[in-house]
Amino acid sequence: MGEMLDALNAPVPIRIAAHTLGWPFKWLGYKGDPSLPPLLSALNAMGPAYVKLGQILSTRPDVVGEDLAHQLKILQDRMPPFPRDVAIATIEKELDIKVDEVFSEFSEPVAAASIAQVHRARLRETGQEVAVKVLRPNIERNFRRDFDAFYLGATIIETLSPGSRRLRPRAVIEHFHGSVKGELDLRLESASASEYEASTKEDEGFWVPKMHWKLSDRRIMTLDWAEGPSCNELGRIDELGFDRKVLGERILGLFLRHALHNGFFHADMHQGNLKIGLNGDVIALDFGIMGRLDEYTRRVYAEIIYGFIKKDYRRVAEVHFEAGYVPAGRDVDEFASALRVVGEPIFGMSADDISMGRVLSYLFEVTERFGMETRMELIHLQRTMVVVEGVSRSLYPNINMWDVARPVVEDYIKQSIGPRALARDLTRTLRILSHFGPRLPKIAEDMLASQSSLNRNSPQEEPKANRWAWFGAGAILAAAVTWGVTQL
């Protein structure tokens, strides 16, 4: 653990807390897997939730260092597997089938991560190759134990450090706890995979394997087999002759497209969950953690990125205030200057010279200085953005995030902000009003009757109340007229 704390340049209080909280593991005798390096063995012994943390850090060698990131990549899909016989017993119990009758081939584990492992199999009936994902035994209990520790840690932090409360540690843990529950019920992951496949089927150079619903349940998930190297197998990608610059830009651009245009995106896009098909397509796997953004949040996020691309820091600051991300009463110009300190060095440096660790450290200082709280609706987006940019940089170290983002964001801005977007929004509003059309006269009558009753009880408020009553009735009348027009 000391190795990770050194890599992250953790402050003294964090180091003390880590060593203090580490004593229970020594007392319990969690030795970990001796076949793994010490750090990975420790994370594996602490539990699957800690392995998740290691997977995220593995995508950012610019934050934790090349050596540590290389070690942590083992956590993505090369964890110690559980026996094939246990997987077969689980499948037969969950699906009420005999594996030998359904599959003509069923391999040893080909990939093993913190929550599940994957077997390569062949359907006896059709000869099609499939991937069968099986949850680890007792994984629910292990995750429950980990999150109990996380909740305790968050409570201690909030109690001992009042300044941390703006970051809402317990709320963040609750958010991720809810996400992880989706990973522990493969029926939910199967639904996400199916929805993601439908929403991305028109994306050139991107593929999501199709589900096999009859061979999937709570602890089992079966989908088409995806052939090709993972994104962390750079040697194999080079052997196949693929342009890593093109692949890096495609992964980053597709993520932004899914987040902005679809509002539904893969929120766990580390290298182990991405393959490169033999035809050069990017293949997404593991759909346990997905992110959603409503249309308003997507527009805010697009304006922020676009403002950075255009170096319009004043507009970026204004968007933060308009969305309520910065508390009212703070100075917009001062916030714009703070954002300039973040943006300008990034634009002026090559990717190799940028220290994302330093950038993230300064961003944390900015949020503290301006009293910004953690936005729960953006957690998946912000976390995945850091991971995806790290994956893209691992493929092509000189990738320029802003150049890749520009066409995607500009296209979204044209569609969502401007006259066409306003007309589309008005059309949606009229469509919604049309559902209430037959009820509008009754709503107006009830409002006027309610205001009349209020006026009798408070005569001194009568003029003001009447104004509001007539305003409300007028609004409903306008809505009724609008509804009538839509029916013509």
Residues 6+ apart with CB under 8 A from 357: 8, 9, 62, 63
Task: Report how far residue 159's alpha carbon sits from residue 13's, in angstroms, rounded to the nearest whole number.
Answer: 15
One DSSP character per residue, 22-51 reads HHHHHHHT----TTS-HHHHHHHHH-HHHH
Residues 6+ apart with CB under 8 A from 252: 388, 389, 392, 399, 401, 404, 405
Beta bridge partners of 264: 292
268 is annotated as an active-site residue: yes
Task: Report how far residue 422's alpha carbon sits from residue 427's, in angstroms, rounded to the nearest whole number.
Answer: 9
Length of the chain: 488
Q: Which of 146, 203, 217, 268 is catalytic?
A: 268
Q: Cα 232 to chain center, whole Å?
A: 20
Q: Where are the beta strands (DSSP E) in 74-167?
A: 103-112, 116-123, 129-135
Residue 4 has a CB neighbour count (10 Å cut-off) of 20
Contact, 178 vs 288, CB < 8 A? no
Nearest to 264 by CA among 180, 325, 204, 191: 191
Residues designated catalytic: 268
